[in-house]
Copies of this chain bind each other. A is one copy, B any other.
Amino acid sequence: MTISIAHLGPAGTNAESAALAYANWLQENQQKSAILCAYPSIAQTLKAAAQGETHLAIVPVENSIEGSVAMTLDTFWQLDRLQIQQALVLPIAHALISCASELTKIKSVYSHPQALAQCQGWLEKFLPLAQLIPANSTTEALEHLSSDETASAIASERAAELYNLPVLAHPINDRPDNCTRFWVVSLQPSVTGKYISLAFSVPANVPGALVKPLQALAKRGINLSRIESRPAKKSLGDYLFFFDLEADLREVSTQEALDELKGYTQILKIFGSYTLVSGVAESRYEIG
């Protein structure tokens, strides 16, 4: 059976690189072949898997510099049916791509806002006068570069190759250890991994309301590797909390912690118990 994997497109995005890396991993470790299906937004990528159009979706969750990908967390909470099967961490290196003969001729830089932010320092130093123009993806602007030699884009070296465009500088990200964590998700139940992701709303306001959930985990020695708040989209001051735990859903102490947590929360959603994929080509692995 060929596995279909939804990802944010078009070709050359970092999400596509993650999908390719995962497809290779599937081939090597499970002898399964995969096809990639590009979607125009993260929300549509996740909906494709939620509606059974594809077997899997792979979406960015968090970058080491720019933080959480709000669209992924918000859509995940809303869709309510997807489960995280695996996580993978990919290093991110950005290149400045342009047909300009030298840096001084560049007047504009196109890229996804996260990529522009990740290269802020380099841009201020080498292209202080260029206009920074946000795009829907790192690759969106590439097709226009050959007709405008004053324009440039920030994308991966692989994208430059795909579009047959010159790389003027690489890597230009401010931190060499820039990496992004992705989730591989599907409609299958997921209960057997080392990591658990969940989210909840609390009945009242935040104050003591967060202490008890944290204590329920801490007193059982469960490591909370990440906490993120997102607006509940009602009024300012109403939040959802997203937790990543290092815990096994099959252990009694984990079940007890989750039962206790349920008592402190209004709505609690468990997004799955999953493993971190290792052995993906060119990847470094880190998780909090």
In this assembly, does A254 line the interface, its C-beta being within 8 Å of a C-beta of chain B? no
Main secondary structure of the interface of A (DSSP, over half): mixed
A181 CA to B237 CA in the complex, in Å? 11
In this assembly, does A281 line the interface, its C-beta being within 8 Å of a C-beta of chain B? no
In this assembly, does A235 line the interface, its C-beta being within 8 Å of a C-beta of chain B? yes
Name the residue on B nearest A224 (C-beta): B207
Name the residue on B nearest A178 (C-beta): B233
In this assembly, does A218 line the interface, its C-beta being within 8 Å of a C-beta of chain B? yes
Q: How many residues of A are in contact with the other chain, CB < 8 A?
A: 52
Q: Evaluate contact between A71 and B229: CB separation under 8 angstroms.
A: no
Q: Evaluate contact between B113 and A236: CB separation under 8 angstroms.
A: no
> Could you say which residues of chain B place their CB within 8 Å of the CB of A258?
none
A233 CA to B135 CA in the complex, in Å? 23
In this assembly, does A214 line the interface, its C-beta being within 8 Å of a C-beta of chain B? yes
> Could you say which residues of chain B place their CB within 8 Å of the CB of A235?
64, 177, 179, 286
Partner of A236, one of B70, B89, B218: B89
A239 CA to B64 CA in the complex, in Å? 9
In this assembly, does A226 line the interface, its C-beta being within 8 Å of a C-beta of chain B? yes
In this assembly, does A223 line the interface, its C-beta being within 8 Å of a C-beta of chain B? yes
Q: Evaluate contact between A229 and B229: CB separation under 8 angstroms.
A: yes
A25 CA to B175 CA in the complex, in Å? 42
CB of A278 to closest CB in B, whole Å: 15
Q: Evaluate contact between A70 and B66: CB separation under 8 angstroms.
A: yes
> Could you say which residues of chain B place their CB within 8 Å of the CB of A177?
234-235
CB of A148 to closest CB in B, whole Å: 17
In this assembly, does A231 line the interface, its C-beta being within 8 Å of a C-beta of chain B? yes
In this assembly, does A228 line the interface, its C-beta being within 8 Å of a C-beta of chain B? yes
In this assembly, does A252 line the interface, its C-beta being within 8 Å of a C-beta of chain B? no
Q: Evaluate contact between A214 and B217: CB separation under 8 angstroms.
A: no
**Chain A residues numbered 44-62 whose CB sits less than 8 Å from any CB in chain B:** 62
Residues of A within 8 A of B (CB): 43, 62-67, 70-71, 89, 113, 117, 120, 132-136, 175, 177, 179, 181, 205-208, 210-211, 214-215, 217-218, 222-231, 233-239, 286-288
Known A67-B229, A237-B286, A237-B288; further 13 A-B contacts with Cβ < 8 A = A62-B231, A65-B231, A67-B70, A67-B230, A71-B117, A179-B236, A205-B288, A210-B214, A211-B211, A214-B214, A226-B229, A228-B229, A236-B288
